[in-house]
Amino acid sequence: MANKTHNTEEKILEAAKTVFHRKGFEGARMQEIADEAGINKALLHYYFRTKENLFDAVFKAAFREIFTKLFMTIDADVPLEKKLKNLISEYIGFFQKNSYIPGFILTEMNQNPEKIISVFKSAPVSPSMVFERMKEFMYDEKLEKTDVRELFINILALCIFPVVARPMLQNIFDFSDEQYDQFIEKRKKTIPQLIMNTIRKK
Amino acid sequence: MANKTHNTEEKILEAAKTVFHRKGFEGARMQEIADEAGINKALLHYYFRTKENLFDAVFKAAFREIFTKLFMTIDADVPLEKKLKNLISEYIGFFQKNSYIPGFILTEMNQNPEKIISVFKSAPVSPSMVFERMKEFMYDEKLEKTDVRELFINILALCIFPVVARPMLQNIFDFSDEQYDQFIEKRKKTIPQLIMNTIRKK
DNA sequence: ACATGGTTTAACCAGATAGTTAAACTAAAT
DNA sequence: ATTTAGTTTAACTATCTGGTTAAACCATGT
């Protein structure tokens, strides 16, 4: 028998991703997800018994995606300045392609903070180890003593905020889609400069 | 006859604010809002006929609050560095007290981008004029030529992100409530430094 | 030929929820 | 004393929605 399972499950997750992102958990309708996946409601429940199950699967996937990527790049073994450039440029690029993820996570965070914590516990990389590694790096390269947490949060903020707040900012700036993409593209260069300014010994 | 109207309407808006923030539009229940306001459902509908009406009122208020504050401070007539310090410190302070606002707006932005635009049109300050003013300021003080939009977005990102992403970050950092508050407090000083670094002529 | 697992169809149920309505109560305003 | 705006109570409706079920279909592997 053909293994349609894999394919369909994939299709469902993809559809759920879209709809949950568009409407949030409460706003999303199982029927809408089924339609989006090109299947029917009964089959949807056949695969993921409940709405919660389905949501959890989607949420955890998004969460893993965003954090493994981040922590992996921080952990890579290249000189700091180079690493910073890579990190920021890759991360922004990732968000350009998966712009739904940060907003999705932030939204859910507002409504179910507990869920975040539970998902964190199952994460493949430990944040505290990443911070330790960042610290060592900065010590080795004789950089300005900075709170690594503050560094971490600054990078994240500068990369993620423009993506999350895009609908608003694009309107404030009166930018077309292309203009805004270009604007973000430019930031792949300016953000590393800005960050290096703050940690380079004067 | 006593003017209870004002008081009750106020109470309802306050309650709606809380519940919409906690649950989002779809997740919020009229009954819950009524309970939170200490009144009954019938009266709720008596004041704001529909759920949409109520939500709109709350949303617009939040939106106005955050943007008038921002644009007013930018527009104030003090030296740039001082203004920057004021702006950031006041703005962060404002978020500490109204931490629900940014998340609320971001969430809604994901789900109804159109609404943002319509609310913007009714805004009391025009963004483009604010940018012009920022430009003049920077020219007068002979600062590094920088894209004012980028400057604007950076400030916003650094101030808002730590508030919006708090549940997640606090968990990553393993901070208590006090520790996190203190962490944000510290940023009232470090962010202006960081920003000045990027615009001060070398 | 038959069994199997994925799939569809279509009907159904139970619970929740937005919104309505009508009747009665309260306290201030006239 | 009467009116009136604000408020409560409680019941009701219409609709939506998550979830279930049963029966049939279909393609494949055996």
Half-sphere exposure of B157 toward its Cβ, with a 13 Å CA cutoff?
25
Cβ atoms B60, B101 nearer than 8 A: no
3-state helix, strand, coil in chain A (%, to 5): 80, 0, 20
Q: How many cross-chain Cβ pairs, A to B, lie less than 8 Å apart?
A: 126
Cβ atoms B165, A109 nearer than 8 A: yes
Computed over every residue of chain A, the mean pLDDT equals 86
pLDDT by position in tens, chain A (length 202): 445 556 888 999 999 999 998 888 888 999 999 999 999 999 999 999 999 999 999 988 888 888 888 878 877 888 888 888 999 998 898 888 888 888 888 888 877 777 778 777 777 778 888 888 888 888 877 777 788 999 999 999 999 999 999 988 998 899 999 999 999 999 999 999 999 988 877 6
Q: What is the pLDDT of residue A19?
A: 92
Sign of CA dihedral A181, A186, A190, A192: positive
Does A106 sit within 8 Å of B164, measured CB to CB? Answer: yes
Express each pLDDT in B53-76 by its tens digit: 999 899 888 888 888 888 788 778
Alpha carbons B16 and B20: distance in angstroms, whole number: 6
Three-state secondary structure readout of B169-191: HHHHHCCCHHHHHHHHHHHHHHH
CB-based contact (8 Å) between B109 and chain A?
yes
How far, CA to CA in Å, does B107 sit from each of A196, B22, B25, B185? 32, 11, 10, 25
Express each pLDDT in B87-110 by its tens digit: 999 889 888 888 888 888 888 887
How far, CA to CA in Å, does A176 sit from each of A92, A171, A181, B133? 19, 9, 9, 23
Burial state string for A183-200 with b = 16 or more CB within 10 A and e = fewer than 16: bbeebbebbbebbeebbe
Residue nearest to nucleotide C29 (CA to C1'): B1
Q: Select from A128, A168, A175 the residue whose CB has the most chain B CBs within 10 Å, as the one to mutate to test that interface.
A: A168
Domains with residue ranges and CATH for chain A: 1-49 (1.10.10.60), 59-199 (1.10.357)
Express each pLDDT in B151-160 by its tens digit: 999 999 999 9
Express each pLDDT in B96-152 by its tens digit: 888 888 888 888 887 777 777 877 777 777 888 888 888 887 887 777 778 899 999
Q: What is the pLDDT of residue B5?
A: 58
